[in-house]
Amino acid sequence: MFAMIDASSDGLPGDVLIVEDDAIIAMDFEDTVLRFGVKIVRTAGSVARALQLIEERAPDFALLDIGLLREKSFAVAERLEALGIPFAFISGYGADAALPAEFAHKPRLPKPCTSDAMRAMLRSAGRAAK
Protein backbone atom coordinates (compact mmCIF):
# COMPACT_ATOMS: atom_id res chain seq x y z
CA MET A 1 0.00 0.00 0.00
CA PHE A 2 1.37 3.39 -0.93
CA ALA A 3 0.29 6.77 0.33
CA MET A 4 -1.91 8.73 -2.02
CA ILE A 5 -1.19 12.40 -2.00
CA ASP A 6 -4.21 14.66 -2.18
CA ALA A 7 -1.84 17.55 -2.54
CA SER A 8 -2.72 21.18 -2.52
CA SER A 9 -1.60 23.36 -5.39
CA ASP A 10 1.87 23.84 -3.96
CA GLY A 11 2.67 20.14 -3.64
CA LEU A 12 1.94 19.61 0.05
CA PRO A 13 0.56 16.32 1.36
CA GLY A 14 -3.18 16.35 2.02
CA ASP A 15 -3.12 14.39 5.30
CA VAL A 16 -0.32 14.74 7.85
CA LEU A 17 0.12 12.77 11.06
CA ILE A 18 2.08 14.45 13.84
CA VAL A 19 3.40 12.20 16.60
CA GLU A 20 4.36 14.46 19.50
CA ASP A 21 3.82 13.90 23.23
CA ASP A 22 3.93 17.56 24.27
CA ALA A 23 0.41 18.91 23.70
CA ILE A 24 1.55 22.54 23.28
CA ILE A 25 4.16 21.61 20.67
CA ALA A 26 1.70 19.31 18.89
CA MET A 27 -0.87 22.13 18.67
CA ASP A 28 1.78 24.53 17.38
CA PHE A 29 2.88 22.06 14.69
CA GLU A 30 -0.76 21.38 13.77
CA ASP A 31 -1.53 25.12 13.44
CA THR A 32 1.60 25.66 11.36
CA VAL A 33 0.87 22.79 8.98
CA LEU A 34 -2.78 23.84 8.58
CA ARG A 35 -1.67 27.40 7.76
CA PHE A 36 0.42 25.95 4.92
CA GLY A 37 -2.79 24.63 3.36
CA VAL A 38 -2.64 20.96 4.38
CA LYS A 39 -6.25 19.75 4.49
CA ILE A 40 -6.07 17.22 7.35
CA VAL A 41 -3.70 17.15 10.33
CA ARG A 42 -4.02 14.48 12.99
CA THR A 43 -1.96 14.25 16.16
CA ALA A 44 -0.97 11.39 18.43
CA GLY A 45 0.88 11.58 21.73
CA SER A 46 1.87 7.91 21.91
CA VAL A 47 2.98 5.03 19.73
CA ALA A 48 -0.28 3.15 20.36
CA ARG A 49 -2.42 6.11 19.31
CA ALA A 50 -0.30 6.79 16.24
CA LEU A 51 -0.57 3.18 15.10
CA GLN A 52 -4.34 3.31 15.64
CA LEU A 53 -4.64 6.46 13.51
CA ILE A 54 -2.52 4.90 10.77
CA GLU A 55 -4.73 1.81 10.70
CA GLU A 56 -7.89 3.94 10.57
CA ARG A 57 -6.55 5.94 7.61
CA ALA A 58 -3.00 6.04 6.34
CA PRO A 59 -1.57 9.58 6.25
CA ASP A 60 0.27 11.01 3.26
CA PHE A 61 3.17 12.08 5.50
CA ALA A 62 4.12 11.82 9.18
CA LEU A 63 6.30 13.92 11.43
CA LEU A 64 7.65 11.86 14.33
CA ASP A 65 9.13 13.18 17.55
CA ILE A 66 11.83 10.62 18.34
CA GLY A 67 11.50 10.66 22.11
CA LEU A 68 7.98 10.37 23.41
CA LEU A 69 7.14 10.31 27.12
CA ARG A 70 8.16 6.74 27.94
CA GLU A 71 8.91 5.39 24.48
CA LYS A 72 10.55 6.06 21.15
CA SER A 73 8.58 6.49 17.92
CA PHE A 74 10.50 3.80 16.01
CA ALA A 75 7.56 1.34 15.95
CA VAL A 76 5.56 4.02 14.15
CA ALA A 77 8.44 4.59 11.74
CA GLU A 78 8.57 0.85 11.02
CA ARG A 79 4.85 0.76 10.21
CA LEU A 80 5.07 3.83 7.97
CA GLU A 81 8.08 2.35 6.18
CA ALA A 82 6.19 -0.91 5.61
CA LEU A 83 3.31 1.04 4.07
CA GLY A 84 5.57 3.21 1.90
CA ILE A 85 4.50 6.40 3.65
CA PRO A 86 7.13 9.17 3.78
CA PHE A 87 8.03 10.56 7.19
CA ALA A 88 10.60 12.66 8.97
CA PHE A 89 11.90 12.73 12.50
CA ILE A 90 11.90 15.81 14.66
CA SER A 91 13.93 16.08 17.82
CA GLY A 92 15.07 18.58 20.38
CA TYR A 93 18.37 16.70 20.39
CA GLY A 94 19.04 17.62 16.75
CA ALA A 95 21.73 15.65 14.94
CA ASP A 96 22.77 14.05 18.24
CA ALA A 97 19.52 12.06 18.45
CA ALA A 98 20.37 8.40 17.99
CA LEU A 99 18.47 6.65 15.22
CA PRO A 100 18.54 2.95 14.42
CA ALA A 101 20.64 2.21 11.33
CA GLU A 102 17.56 1.53 9.17
CA PHE A 103 16.35 5.10 9.76
CA ALA A 104 19.68 6.95 9.65
CA HIS A 105 18.92 8.15 6.08
CA LYS A 106 15.51 9.61 6.98
CA PRO A 107 15.07 13.37 7.02
CA ARG A 108 15.25 15.16 10.36
CA LEU A 109 14.21 18.53 11.66
CA PRO A 110 15.53 20.14 14.82
CA LYS A 111 13.05 21.16 17.47
CA PRO A 112 12.32 24.00 17.42
CA CYS A 113 12.38 24.42 13.66
CA THR A 114 11.43 27.31 11.44
CA SER A 115 8.17 27.37 9.51
CA ASP A 116 10.22 27.53 6.30
CA ALA A 117 12.09 24.32 7.20
CA MET A 118 8.84 22.54 8.00
CA ARG A 119 7.20 23.72 4.78
CA ALA A 120 10.23 22.57 2.76
CA MET A 121 10.05 19.14 4.44
CA LEU A 122 6.36 18.81 3.60
CA ARG A 123 6.89 19.90 -0.01
CA SER A 124 9.70 17.40 -0.38
CA ALA A 125 7.44 14.66 1.01
CA GLY A 126 4.65 15.65 -1.38
CA ARG A 127 6.97 15.44 -4.39
CA ALA A 128 8.56 12.16 -3.26
CA ALA A 129 5.22 10.41 -2.80
CA LYS A 130 3.92 11.22 -6.28
Measured CA to CA, the distance from residue 73 to residue 76 in angstroms comes to 5
The pTM of the full predicted model, rounded to 2 decimals, is 0.86
Q: Going residue by residue through the chain, which has 130 residues, state the pLDDT in tens, using 9 for 90 and above.
A: 333 444 444 788 999 999 999 999 999 999 999 999 999 999 999 999 999 999 999 999 999 999 888 899 999 999 999 999 999 998 876 555 678 888 888 888 888 888 888 898 888 876 655 4
Walk me through the domains of the chain, giving residue ranges and CATH numbers.
15-95+102-128 (3.40.50.2300)
| DSSP output for 24-44 | HHHHHHHHHHHHHT-SEEEEE
